Structures are given as C-alpha cells and as structure tokens.
Amino acid sequence: MADPTRLHAHEMAALLRAGDLSARALTEAHLDAAERDNRALHAWLTIDRARALEEADAADARIVAARADGAAALARLPALLGIPVALKDLVSVAGGQCTAGSRILEGYRSPYDAHITERLREAGAVILGKTNMDEFAMGSSTEHSAFGPTANPWALDRVPGGSSGGSAVAVAAFHAPLSIGTDTGGSIRQPAALCGVVGMKPTYGRVSRYGIVAFASSLDQIGPFARDVRDAGALLHAIAGRDDRDSTSSPVPVPAALGNLPAGDDEAAATLRGKRFGMPREYFVAGMEPAVEARVREAVAALEAAGATVEDVSLPHTDYGLATYYIVAPAEASANLARYDGVRFGLQRRDGDVLANYLATRGAGFGDEVKRRVMLGTYALSAGYYDAYYLKAQKVRTLIKGDFDALWAQGFDALVAPTSPTVAFPFGARMDDPVAMYLSDACTLPVNMAGLPGVSVPCGLAEGLPVGLQLIGAAWSEAELLGLARGYEAITAGAAWRSLEPADLARAADPSTPAPGARAA
C-alpha cells in the first residue's frame, strides 16, 4: 500500500475496519516519520514509541474482535480507534512529562489524565507524544519554547507560527493526521494558517480545560488540527462536552453533525448556497501582505460563485482587541503562574529562605517573554491600577463582543477574514520586537475576547507559503461553521495548490540538516 501517513483520518478509519491496514503499521509509519524529521523540524518534545505501540495493539485487538462479531459491532467502534494523535505539551497524560515549553516544569510528571486525554482514550486514539510550543503558550512563532524553536516544513528557515507550532507541524509534515492545540489569542488558527492545515478554536466552554496547563483562563480553549475539515470535526466531537471538573465547560449539547460532516463534495458545496457572510473591513489591517489579501479575496469570490453572498461589514472595536488582550491575558497569566513557586511543581532552586527560593526558582525557570507577561499582569492587577487597566479592558471586551452580536442579530451566518496578515516569517524576525510579535494575532485575538468559535482553512499559497482563511461564527455554531469550511474545501477541491506537499519535507528528512535552533542562531 502507498504511504499511510498521507491518508486522512477518516480514510485510515475505513481501512482499519476493513482489515486492510493495522493500527500497529499505521502507528509505526507515523512514529518513523516523526523521529526521522525531529532533528530538522523539532515538532516534538517527546515521542513515546513504546506506549503508542501498546495502544495500537489494543486497538487492533478490538478491531479483530469486532470483525468476528459482524458489521454491527464494527459500526459501534469509536471514531478515532487506532488513529494517531499528537498532544501539545500542556495536556496532562498520567505519568508523562508536561513542560508547557518551560524549564520551570522540567522533570514534572502529570499525576492524572486531562479530561481530553480521557476522552481521546475512550475514542480509541493512539497518543504518539507531546509537541513543542511557546513557553506557557505565550507567543506566535514557537521561538519562545525553552527547548528551542520548531521549523516550518514549507521553509525550514521560517517559523511555523505559535504557540501550538509543534502540533501544526506534526500534522503538516504527516507525523500525525490529528493533533491538539490551545488557542488563547490565536494559537491554533495562526499556526494552522502558516503551516497550511485546518485548525479550529471552539466556543469558550465547548471543551473542558481540566488537566491543561492554564495561561489565561477566560480565553484559553482547546481545539483540533487536521489536514481536512471532516477530520477536524471528528476530533472536536471526541473531546467536546461538559465536564464537572471545569465549571466553565458548558452543558450545551455537542451536535452529532460535528463528527459527521458531509463526505461528498457536491453535498458539501450545496451548504454554501444562500448563506450570508460578513467580511469585516477592520481585519484587512495595515501591513497585511498583498499576496495574502489576494488569496483571501479569491476565496471570497469562490464562496460567491458557489451561491453565498459576502457583504462588507464593520467590527468597530477591533482596533482595541490587541491592547485589551494584552491587559487581560497577562493579568490572568500572572495569577495562574503564581503556582510555580519552586515547591509544588518541577524546578526547585534552593537559595536561602522561602522568598529567596521563590525568586531563584522563577528567575531561572521562566523565560523572558513569560517574565514580561507576569510583570505586565501584576502591574495591571495592582491596587490603584486595577480599575484603570484590568476593569477598563474587561469593559472594552464587552464592546468587542457586542460588535459580533450586532452582526449575528442581522442574520449573518458567519464572518470571513484573513487568519494572519502575513505568511510564515523568518526565524528571528519578530524576536527583538514584542509588539511586532503581538501583531501577528491582530485577526484572531478579538474572537477569543468574544468567546466565539473560529476556524482557519488553507486557501492557497503566497510565494510558496500557505495562507489561511478564517471563518468566525456565533457561539456554539461549530457544526454549522465547519459545514461552511467543508463547503469551501469542496469548491476548491480541484485547486492545484491542494495537491502540493510542504516544499521542505525532503530536507526535513535529511539527517544532515541541522536543528532549527542551530539554523536560527
């Protein structure tokens, strides 16, 4: 058979059930690719071959037993049985490392499974390992990982985006058909765009955050990466839903349609007919690359040709998204990160009394960007400044949400916008200028501030690098939103760029290619 890593998860599932592929062979092929490329790409912080193969063998045993029991038993098997999945290294897996990309959590082992880890196990997924990320998910390039950067398989001298860069690359480079990321201000959608894969941030509350290392608790959401929209829907379906251990997780029912998006392109394309999209003019920001804008406008034209209408709309408070996010997110981070005290988790520096130990541990364990956020957040929350900064930012946040609500009230089905104003940028380009790095997320941050679902789908290439199209929906509309994304995928199924693989995959597989850290230096 041809290389099974090139298949979509739904194709793998069909072959597994038919007995034409074993979960062991499938898992080995992915582990081999991940290990081979990890020097050049550095997408993975750990690859757990032994455990993954055990899980694959267990999946094979279940499939063999079900086949003996007949078609009904096969049909009852869980959707992700035997399918390899990568987890961002902030998802707890009992007994495994969970660094969140930070030295301060080096050596820490998770005492329990995250809610989504339990759900993935119930769904039969094979967990291959943990992926690289910006420290505590703070960043847009994965260069803020304490363990060195991840490279983009489309151009090894460029970043994959962040903070979930490792998870995006794992899927783009065929190390796994599915992966998990988190998105606080864009960290799923932006790396999905820069790596040419599908990535979704669900509605706030759709997925339990229990067992996920917290960054900014009112913004963090967990979501899927995949190489097509159906697979992204199936992964979200497996992890979504109420969990009593996260009081912000919602009891809103998880629609079955999420796991069952249209397979046929004609049916998928038909869902676009008569749909009404808004195109927020504020998302075509100054500094946007012309070729990125061109791809987005071509995508809009394709939606119109398929029978949708696209109207210019305004989200007038968009400009405040960045400023208010960089009050709210650091404020919440400063509170969440107070727990890394050199006593309870990971790194411990002993320098004298309790305060000296605390300062020494945090001084050695946190990187510069994390320290910057802790200082900003502590300042914004301190007496005398709380009202002027944090409270004010929360009020402006309500206005940002109100902009979106006004459009839903006018009957728009979804909004269409760029995901990132630029393609993947070279290593180092934004490292000396934090504000330039922050601007990478101008088009994604407002969606987190409003708690809405957003998805990035590939919409072509600009100078050989992927461009992402962002679709934004009303709260809890993930199934409809992915239906529209699936429609867009269907109407562009024949596009030449869809059949291209990342240009630097061969170099990534070459053992003489140096590590991204060495190249970045």
Give 92 or 163: the residue with its C-beta nearer to ligand GLN: 163
Question: Residue 90 has which token pair?
Answer: 């902030």
Rounded to whole angstroms, how far apart are CA atoms 120 and 126?
Answer: 8
Position among 48, 60, 143, 183 found at the interface with ligand GLN (CB under 6 A): 183
Give 150 or 184: the residue with its C-beta nearer to ligand GLN: 184
Position among 4, 153, 185, 205 found at the interface with ligand GLN (CB under 6 A): 185
Rounded to whole angstroms, how far apart are CA atoms 140 and 159?
Answer: 9
Position among 5, 131, 140, 145 found at the interface with ligand GLN (CB under 6 A): 140
SS3 state at 89: coil
- Asked if 163 is part of the footprint of ligand GLN (rule: CB under 6 A), the reply reads yes
Name, in order, each residue with C-beta under 8 angstroms of 354's C-beta and a sequence gap of 6 or more: none
Instruction: Name the nearest CA neighbour of 229 among 254, 267, 200.
Output: 200
SS3 state at 247: coil
Binding segment (CB under 6 A) for ligand GLN, from list 83-91, 112-120, 182-190, 344-352: 182-190
Binding segment (CB under 6 A) for ligand GLN, from list 133-141, 149-157, 264-272, 290-298: 133-141
Give 254 or 329: the residue with its C-beta nearer to ligand GLN: 329
Give 27 or 152: the residue with its C-beta nearer to ligand GLN: 152
Binding segment (CB under 6 A) for ligand GLN, from list 30-38, 177-185, 394-402, 404-412: 177-185
Counting residues that bind ligand GLN (by CB under 6 A) gives: 13
Catalytic residues: 88, 163, 187
Residue 43 sits at φ, ψ, to 5 deg, of -80, -25
- Asked if 96 is part of the footprint of ligand GLN (rule: CB under 6 A), the reply reads no
Burial label, 276 (beta-carbon count in 10 A; 0-12, 13-18, 19+):
middle
H, E, C per residue of 332-399: HHHHHHHHCCCCCCCCCCCCCCHHHHHHHHHHHHCCHHHHHHHHHHHHHHCCCCCHHHHHHHHHHHHH
Give 215 or 366: the residue with its C-beta nearer to ligand GLN: 215
Position among 97, 150, 187, 208 found at the interface with ligand GLN (CB under 6 A): 187
- Asked if 102 is part of the footprint of ligand GLN (rule: CB under 6 A), the reply reads no
Minimum distance from residue 264 beta carbon to ligand GLN (Å): 34
The DSSP result for 276-325, as a single string, is EEEEEGGGS-TT--HHHHHHHHHHHHHHHHTT-EEEEE--TTTTHHHHHH
- Asked if 441 is part of the footprint of ligand GLN (rule: CB under 6 A), the reply reads yes
Binding segment (CB under 6 A) for ligand GLN, from list 136-144, 151-159, 233-241, 513-521: 136-144
Give 188 or 491: the residue with its C-beta nearer to ligand GLN: 188
* Cα–Cα separations (whole angstroms), residue 123 to 83, 93, 114, 117, 377: 9, 15, 14, 10, 39
Minimum distance from residue 444 beta carbon to ligand GLN (Å): 8
SS3 state at 28: helix
Minimum distance from residue 438 beta carbon to ligand GLN (Å): 7
Please work out, in degrees rounded to the nearest 5, the angle formed at the alpha carbon of residue 440 by the alpha carbons of 435 and 442.
Answer: 90
Minimum distance from residue 340 beta carbon to ligand GLN (Å): 17
- Asked if 470 is part of the footprint of ligand GLN (rule: CB under 6 A), the reply reads no
Q: Which residues within the stretch 203-232 sit at the binding site for ligand GLN (CB under 6 A)?
A: 215
Name, in order, each residue with C-beta under 8 angstroms of 349's C-beta and a sequence gap of 6 or more: 342, 357, 360, 361, 363, 364, 365
Minimum distance from residue 516 beta carbon to ligand GLN (Å): 19
Position among 168, 322, 329, 417 found at the interface with ligand GLN (CB under 6 A): 329
Minimum distance from residue 352 beta carbon to ligand GLN (Å): 33
Instruction: Name the nearest CA neighbour of 275 among 474, 480, 452.
Output: 480
Binding segment (CB under 6 A) for ligand GLN, from list 27-35, 181-189, 289-297, 356-364: 181-189
Give 439 or 481: the residue with its C-beta nearer to ligand GLN: 439
Position among 4, 96, 186, 451 found at the interface with ligand GLN (CB under 6 A): 186
Minimum distance from residue 425 beta carbon to ligand GLN (Å): 13
Question: Residue 228 has which token pair?
Answer: 């097509």
The DSSP result for 139-203, as a single string, is -SSSTT-TT----BTTBTTB---SSSHHHHHHHHTTS-SEEEEEESSSTTHHHHHHHTSEEEEPP
Adjacent-strand bridge partners of 181: 223
* Cα–Cα separations (whole angstroms), residue 479 to 203, 459, 469: 11, 20, 17
* Cα–Cα separations (whole angstroms), residue 450 to 276, 349, 483: 21, 40, 21
- Asked if 138 is part of the footprint of ligand GLN (rule: CB under 6 A), the reply reads yes
Minimum distance from residue 386 beta carbon to ligand GLN (Å): 21
**Is residue 485 within a helix (H) or strand (E), and if so which, with residue range?**
helix 478-491
Give 30 or 88: the residue with its C-beta nearer to ligand GLN: 88
Minimum distance from residue 518 beta carbon to ligand GLN (Å): 25
Position among 184, 271, 420, 513 found at the interface with ligand GLN (CB under 6 A): 184
Position among 139, 153, 421, 487 found at the interface with ligand GLN (CB under 6 A): 139
Beta strands at 221-226 and 178-183: parallel, antiparallel or unpaired = antiparallel
- Asked if 424 is part of the footprint of ligand GLN (rule: CB under 6 A), the reply reads no
Applying CB under 6 A, which residues contact ligand GLN?
A: 137-140, 163, 183-187, 215, 329, 441
